[in-house]
């Protein structure tokens, strides 16, 4: 048996594409075989799979991915059916059942829908089903989309309380420089501090995918802050995941879980919910938040955006750096009246408040470490 109970594997378009177009059936067969092997160790497996657009391009015999939104969404609608059918047949050969779960950004942005998605995935896993998750590209609009499945996979890892996130890619891992351009580039096998490697992440991915190395660094930030280790692995070595769950370290890059981890609802506050606006605070308030205090009106210097009570807002330093995110106790009009004022004055001006905090520390997640 493995120390891991549940892992999430993200498969990018580049890992599924056939050189001549469409999906590579052999790649999907390998993934199904891998999932079956992982299950033998008593480990549950959740897949986050790209490939719908690439599958649609192949099915429609198009020469390239459409450039306009309607074209992409139409091709994705065709491709989703092709993709899940191939997965279902491949997994069925190993006695496994899969389920397609299409998520939109709004599904994780609203707390109730977040819980519903979480409950559905938990029930699927109790049924011993392999969830195959993708963004619902056919209806997503730009301002309400994940942007790439790397970020989605990290959010899913938190959603299902995964123990490990593995992102399959078309390189061996994270390098000190772009290995396609710099022959002196060296593989970074372990990352403890993400701030030290952000600068080495390259640009965007291929024409059939949307994720470059920078999106994988962002995924690592989310996963590791959730207390989940993340491993970058070349898709041609995907079978090495069985080594990972046995405690070995194959060729690739491992991002260690963060020392200060966020749990429970604070995960949703940090990365699930969509913020409605920003609160700007002075340095004294920044220092107070960094020591675990709640946000009071006296430290607030400005507002941006409009919101209602209990909605999510960003809390920014004087330099505009995001310090925290939290659920605010006053709407934007109320807060404009009391910003910079003492708590007693705030309670006199807004008498129906439950407490003196603008954002209580229990409803806040720090985005900036000490």
% of the chain at pLDDT higher than 70: 93
- The reply, when asked if residue 170 is annotated as ligand binding, is yes
Mean pLDDT of 45-61: 91
Residue 86 counted as an annotated binding residue:
no
- Is 71 assigned to a binding site? no
pLDDT averaged over every residue in the chain: 90
The answer on whether 63 is annotated among ligand-binding residues is: no
**What is the per-residue pLDDT for 212?**
74
120 is in an annotated binding site: no
Of the chain, the percentage scoring pLDDT greater than 90 comes to 65
Looking at residue 370, what is its pLDDT? 47
Confidence grade of residue 194 (pLDDT, cut at 50, 70, 90): confident
The response to whether 59 counts as a known ligand-binding position is no
**Is pLDDT at 315 greater than 70 in this prediction?**
yes
Q: Is 210 part of any known ligand binding site?
A: yes
Section 198-219 average pLDDT: 63
Whether 215 has a binding-site annotation, put simply, is: yes
147 is in an annotated binding site: no
Residue 188 backbone dihedrals phi, psi, to 5 degrees: -95, 115
For the chain, how big is the Rg over CA atoms in Å? 22
Q: What top-level class would CATH report for the domain 275-366?
A: mainly beta
Flag whether pLDDT at 285 surpasses 70: yes
Rounded Cα distance, 24 and 86, in Å: 10
6-265 has CATH 3.30.465.10 classification: no
Given pLDDT bands bounded at 50, 70 and 90, which one contains residue 193?
confident
pLDDT at 20: 75
Q: DSSP characters for 202-229?
A: -----TT----HHHHHHHHHHHHHTT-E
pTM of the complete model? 0.87
Considering only residues 204 and 70, tell me which one the structure prediction assigns the higher pLDDT: 70
For the chain, the domains span 6-265, 275-366
Give mean pLDDT, residues 160-164: 96
Predicted pLDDT at 86: 96
Q: Which of 68-82, 113-127, 224-238 has the lowest mean pLDDT?
A: 68-82
pLDDT number for residue 127: 98
Torsion from C-alpha of 268, 272, 276, 282, nearest 10 degrees: 60
Does 216 show up as a binding residue in the annotation? yes
Q: Other C-beta atoms within 10 Å of 10: how many? A: 30
| Closest alpha carbon to 116 in 100, 134, 132, 101 | 101
Lowest pLDDT segment from 79-88, 115-124, 180-189, 251-260: 180-189
| Of 319 and 61, the one with more pLDDT | 319
Per the annotation, does 224 bind a ligand? no
Task: Give the count of beta carbons closer than 10 Å to the beta carbon of residue 212.
Answer: 17
């Amino acid at each position: 048996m493995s120390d891991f109970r549940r892992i999430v594997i993200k498969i990018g378009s580049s890992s599924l594409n056939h050189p001549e177009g469409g999906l590579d059936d052999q790649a999907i067969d390998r993934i199904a075989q891998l999932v079956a092997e992982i299950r033998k160790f008593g480990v549950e497996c959740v897949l986050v799979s790209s490939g719908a657009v690439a599958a649609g391009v192949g099915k429609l015999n198009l020469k390239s991915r459409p450039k306009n939104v309607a074209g992409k969404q139409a091709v994705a609608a065709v491709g989703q059916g092709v993709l899940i059918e191939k997965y279902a047949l491949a997994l069925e050969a190993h006695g496994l059942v899969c389920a397609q779960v299409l998520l939109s950004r709004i599904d994780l942005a609203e707390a109730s829908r977040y819980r519903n998605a979480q409950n559905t995935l938990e029930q699927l896993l109790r049924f011993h089903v392999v969830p195959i998750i993708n963004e619902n590209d056919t209806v997503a609009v730009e301002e309400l989309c994940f942007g790439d499945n790397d970020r989605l996979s990290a959010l899913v890892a938190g959603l299902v309380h995964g123990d490990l996130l593995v992102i399959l890619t078309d390189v061996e891992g994270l390098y000190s420089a772009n290995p396609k351009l710099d022959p002196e580039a060296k593989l970074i096998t372990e990352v403890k501090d993400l701030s030290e490697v952000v600068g080495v992440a390259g640009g965007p991915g291929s024409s059939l995918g949307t994720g470059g190395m920078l999106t994988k660094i962002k995924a690592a930030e989310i996963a590791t802050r959730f207390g989940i280790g993340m491993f970058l692995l070349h898709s041609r070595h995907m079978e090495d995941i069985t080594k990972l769950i046995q405690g070995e370290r194959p060729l690739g890059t491992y991002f260690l879980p963060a020392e200060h981890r966020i749990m429970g609802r604070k995960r949703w506050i940090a990365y699930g919910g969509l913020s409605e606006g920003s609160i700007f605070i002075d340095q004294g308030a920044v220092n107070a938040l960094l020591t675990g205090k709640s946000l009071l009106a006296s430290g607030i210097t400005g507002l941006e955006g409009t919101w209602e009570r209990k909605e999510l807002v960003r809390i920014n330093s004087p330099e505009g750096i995001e310090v925290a995110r939290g659920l605010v106790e006053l709407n934007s009009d109320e807060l404009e009246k009391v910003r910079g004022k003492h708590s007693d004055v705030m309670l006199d001006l807004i008498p129906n408040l439950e407490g003196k905090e603008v954002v209580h520390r229990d409803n806040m997640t720090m985005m900036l470490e000490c």
